A and B are shown apart, each in its own frame.
Chain A
Amino acid sequence: MNTIELQKKALTIREAVWELIYSAKTGHTGSDFSCIDILTALYFDVLQQTPDTFGKPETDTYIQSKGHAVEALYETLALRGYFPKTDLNNFSGFKTHYIGHPTNDIHGIEMNTGSLGHGLGLGVGVALAAKMDKLTKKTFVLMGDGEQAEGSIWEAAMAAGNYHLDNLIGIIDHNKLQISGSTTSVMNSESLASKYTAFGWDVIEINGNDMTDLLDALHQDNLTSKPRLILANTIKGKGISFMENQANWHHKVPSESQYLEGLNELKAQKEALEND
């Protein structure tokens, strides 16, 4: 799919997530918006996975370690045809399976996440299994940058380097904000690039809200015999001006006027793309 089409998809997902959170009055808004471009690139261009091949041994695996951005994942999967969008009508409601973090009760979701620091180790296990079975599939793990403070991430990073898992791609949604403020003020994990490099990873740093950058990095062959980290510099709340780079939008729900204003901004961006 070409870059413009993917950008349009990303805007469609942003609109859907904005509406979902506004309707349900819950969600991790800023975190969703920062990684929607990454999810779009993965599900509409990069991942060797379809709703029909999902879960098969040879199919690519995507694990969302930053589980709180589940609304972005739900709307991406719905748009990609994993389940009907109407399934989300009861999002976060009574007895729903579509809860506030990913669960593998839902078609398209591999593992239950939500507690941070688990996804990379799960990815190491899946990637090791692929090596054992001599499969060419790839495993992608999306993490947050605040999440990098979890010690379990570094146990997994060490194991991935140790086992030369060149079939594993970690992506850090590096929006530099977490619930209490900037990641450097809460717990400085910089330099992430040099830390992963020291743990035996091949690191690529990109603009994680730029579709061209994303496609280049996600498609780039790995000839290093190392696991690859894509350090995706993003903007938290990307796409809605008053939400961008604001830590307090981590899980804030828009008011009616904010909802309408945000929707207008997204529509304007879509129209601009149509006119390109």
Chain B
Amino acid sequence: MTNSIESKTANEVICATLSDAVKTTPDLVVLTSDSRGSAGMTSFISDNPANSIETGIAEQNLVTVAAGLAHAHKRPFVFSPAAFLTMRSVEQVKVDVAYSKTNVKLIGISGGNSYSNLGTTHHSLQDLAITCAIPNLEVYTPADQFETRALLNYLIHSKKPAYVRVGKRKLDNCYPKDWSTFVPGKANILRNGADICLISAGETLFPTLQAASILATKGIEATVVDLVSIKPLDTELLHKLAQKFNLILSVEEHSIINGIGAQIATIIAQHAHAKLKILGFPDEPAISGTQDEVFAYYGLDAESIAQKAILSLKG
């Protein structure tokens, strides 16, 4: 962890990385649906008007136009709240992007529970389930500024369609500042311990790391894995972990239905004996509150994760 470095939002990192990349990648195009401010892309659009397209509040057309641009050899990055991008536009994502294999990068901003007090209309707690079920589409959710930067540098050069879920708030640092590794289908082990394996991705990775620190004070050593690449999944590592550990705990800012935990469960059920506990959002409209309050209510804060681990180990 790199706590001495100021934390940043994913949006800040994405804007800076694309602003830099467009200087040498003139085919890069940013599309927004009245979402430039929410996406933190205002400076990119002001500085690069010829590389920016506004579609208005029309998320279906946002995705389809991006697919048309990609078909005509552009490299579109599409920004819209994850809740709308993965539901309002899901058929456009399935047909125009994934099925047609157009090189569109879909950036779902303010994902998960970022818009905590704005209600279910603005929550995207099913986006990973939806996007992972679409063939030809890669799905990623980075955890901090350094991983976001590494991921973006991959996406800029990749020719494959991808969906990326990022949150709204400043991300606590989980990686060293010079982290530049991003490999599709490759998870990262951030901490090694023999007693329990904790797997997370995105904004719940940091409280999961904190939970491992709490557990260490109680003599429980945890391995912590950042899945980051939700599709393709690092099945090789998951096989190994499922054979090595008796207990795996997954933590996610997503519905417990068909999210990260469910994907891990599929691997374990096929290949190993480990028990799995899935921590996430229950199958109900989420309560209102600050994001931290909501995380704590659903047991996704560091203390709750640690307690759940201890209880499960006693099991």
A-side interface size class:
20 to 34
Cβ-defined partner of A132 (8 Å) among B60, B66, B74, B96: B74
Residue of B nearest to A123 (CB): B68
A159 at the B interface (CB under 8 A): yes
Residue contact B99 to A128, C-beta cutoff 8 Å: no
Cα–Cα distance between A156 and B58 once the two chains are bound (Å): 9
Nearest Cβ distance between residue A131 and chain B, in whole angstroms? 10
B5 at the A interface (CB under 8 A): no
Which residues does chain A contribute within 8 Å of B64, judged by CB atoms?
A: 118, 121-122, 124-125, 152, 156
Interfacial residues of chain A within 79-135, with CB under 8 A of chain B in the complex: 103-104, 110-115, 118, 121-130, 132-133
Contact code string B94-116 (vs A, CB < 8 Å = 1, else 0): 01100111000000000000000
Which residues does chain B contribute within 8 Å of A192, judged by CB atoms?
A: none
A51 at the B interface (CB under 8 A): no
Cβ-defined partner of A125 (8 Å) among B50, B67, B95, B101: B67
Cβ-defined partner of A104 (8 Å) among B60, B73, B100: B100
Residue contact B58 to A158, C-beta cutoff 8 Å: yes
Residue contact B95 to A112, C-beta cutoff 8 Å: yes
Residue contact B96 to A111, C-beta cutoff 8 Å: yes
Cα–Cα distance between A127 and B74 once the two chains are bound (Å): 12
Which residues does chain B contribute within 8 Å of A158, judged by CB atoms?
A: 56, 58, 61
Which residues does chain A contribute within 8 Å of B50, judged by CB atoms?
A: 132
Residue contact B61 to A128, C-beta cutoff 8 Å: no
Interfacial residues of chain B within 25-69, with CB under 8 A of chain A in the complex: 29, 50, 53, 55-56, 58, 60-61, 64-69
**A residues touching B (Cβ–Cβ < 8 Å)?**
57, 61, 103-104, 110-115, 118, 121-130, 132-133, 151-152, 155-156, 158-159, 162
- Nearest 10 CB-CB pairings of A with B: A125-B68, A121-B64, A129-B72, A155-B61, A155-B58, A122-B68, A125-B65, A125-B69, A112-B100, A126-B68
25 contacts between A and B (CB under 8 A): A57-B72, A61-B71, A110-B71, A112-B95, A112-B96, A118-B64, A118-B96, A122-B64, A124-B64, A125-B66, A126-B71, A128-B53, A129-B69, A129-B73, A129-B74, A151-B60, A152-B60, A152-B64, A155-B61, A156-B64, A158-B56, A158-B61, A159-B56, A159-B61, A162-B56
